[in-house]
Structure 1
C-alpha cells in the first residue's frame, strides 16, 4: 500500500487492522492479524499499541489476543443517534422550510462545539447558507446558544471554564449566563447580527425519550424579511417543529418544554 497525497498510510493500515475483527472472530492474535493484512508483526504491534492507548483496541492479559475497544462502541452510538435524529427531523424541517421560506438547519453538540448535521435550504434568491458539518462555538449564534443553554449545569460550566482558560469567550460571562437563563425560560433563542451580519436566527431545543437534550432546530434568513408582524409567527413555527421532533423522538412531556406553545 503506497502513501498518496490524499491518504496517510499509517491511518489506512490502522483501519485495515480494525476491519479484521468480526462478529464471528472478535479476538485476534498478532500472527492472525499479520496473516490477514500482509503487514509485518512489528508494524502491527506499533499500530495496536497506539490504538490501545487511545481506547480503540484492548488486549486480553491472559490470552494476549486483541479485540476492539469500547471507544468504538461509543462512537458507533453517536453515529446511530445522529442518524436517528436526522432521519426523524428531516420531514419536519422540510415542512418548516416550506412554511417560512427560510433555511432550516439541525444541530448537535460534538466535541464541545455546535455541529450542523442536516440542512434544508431556502428557495429564496437571497438566503442563509449553512453547510452540513460546519462547526462553531456554542456561545455564538442562536444555534449554539440554544444547545449550551439546555446542557446540564456541570457540563455547561466545564465548557465555559475551559473557554475562559483559553481566552475564547467572545462575550462577558455574566451577560452570557443571563442570556442562557432567558433561553431556558422561554424555550427558544432569537438573534440578529449575532454570528452573521445582516441575518436573523431563531432556534429551539430538541429532547429525546429520556428528556435529554439531543439537538436543536434553527430557522435563519436575511434581516430584511423579518418584520415585527412576522417574528411571532416564525418563533411559534420553529418551537412547534422542535416540539414535534422531540415528540417523535419519544419525549412524552415535550409540549411542557415549550412554554409559548401552551398558549396555542
Structure 2
C-alpha cells in the first residue's frame, strides 16, 4: 500500500471517496431537471444544497461533456444533447415500455381511461409509459414520475407480487405516515393476491381512482404494474369491479409478450 495515500478502514483512498462524491453531486444536479426545463446557478445550488462555486465547477464539467447546455441570454442551464444520445439506446424492442404500448392503446380505447405502466425502483415506483384518455376530463400521467410504494393501486401490485425477500425489505423500509397503517396495508396485499388486482380511491391524489393488475412473464416473474386511472366521479368502485376482468385479461396477454 502506498504510505502517502490516506485510506479509511475499508482500504479505499480519500481520493476515491472524493471522486465518488463528485459523481454523486453531478448526478444530483442532473436530477434537478426532472421537473424544470431551465434552472439558474442559484436555483441549482439551492436544490442540491451546495455552494455556488462548487456547483459552478460541476456545471462546467457537465456542460463540457454535453450533458448540459447554458443559455447565453439568461445564463440558465438546460439538459444537453448527450442525454438524447443515451436515451436513444434505452428503448429497445424488448423494452416493456415500448413493446406493450400498442396493447396499452387498445386498452385505452376499450375503457376510455388513462393507462399507465409502472415498475419498481428501490422504494419508489416509476411511470415508464402512459396513454392518456381521450375524454375531456382525464387523468394526466407524466412519464418518468416517481411515486411512493405505500399508497396507490399500482404500488400495492408491485409490493404484493414481489418475491418474499424483496417484499419484506420494502415493507420494513417504507416510511409509514400516521395516517397509513402498515398492518392494514399488509392485509390489502393478501386480498390483492387472491383477487389478482388492486384498487385505490383518493389514496395519493384527491379526486383520482385507479385499478391495477400485475404483468408477469412466462416464468411468473413480475415485470410491471398495469394501471387504469381516472376521476373518482367516473371511475367508481363499481366501475372498477366491472373493469377488472378486462384489465386482468390485458395484463395476462401483455405478460405473454415479455421475457
Q: 2:254 aligns with which of 238, 245, 249?
A: 245
Residues 153 and 90 from structure 1, CA distance in 2 versus in 1: closer, same or farther, beyond 3 angstroms?
A: same
Residues 111 and 208 from structure 1, CA distance in 2 versus in 1: closer, same or farther, beyond 3 angstroms?
A: same
Residues 129 and 212 from structure 1, CA distance in 2 versus in 1: closer, same or farther, beyond 3 angstroms?
A: same
CA–CA separation in structure 2 for the residues paired with 1:98 and 1:221? 14
SS at match of 1:8: helix
| Contact 1:163 1:169 (8 Å CA) reproduced | no
Specify the alignment match of 1:28 in structure 2: none
Q: 1:200 aligns with which of 182, 199, 209?
A: 209
Specify the alignment match of 2:132 in structure 1: 121
Q: CA deviation at 1:15?
A: 8.8
Specify the alignment match of 1:140 in structure 2: 151
Q: 1:151 aligns with which of 144, 162, 177?
A: 162
Deviations 1:55-88 (A, max 9, x none): xxxxxxxxxxxxxxxxxxxxx9xx5689611122
Residues 160 and 215 from structure 1, CA distance in 2 versus in 1: closer, same or farther, beyond 3 angstroms?
A: same
Q: CA deviation at 1:8?
A: 2.3
Spell out the pairing of 1:157-196 with structure 2 (5 A cutoff): 157-164=168-175, 171-196=180-205
SS at match of 2:150: coil
CA–CA separation in structure 2 for the residues paired with 1:220 and 1:168? 24
CA–CA separation in structure 1 for the residues paired with 2:149 and 2:178? 10
CA–CA separation in structure 2 for the residues paired with 1:180 and 1:142? 10
CA–CA separation in structure 2 for the residues paired with 1:149 and 1:81? 28
RMSD: 3.0
Specify the alignment match of 1:8 in structure 2: 59
| Contact 2:217 2:223 (8 Å CA) reproduced | yes
Structure with more helix by fraction: 1
- List runs of 5+ in structure 2 lacking aligned partners: 1-39, 45-57, 68-86
- Alignment coverage as a number of residue pairs: 186
Q: CA deviation at 1:220?
A: 0.8
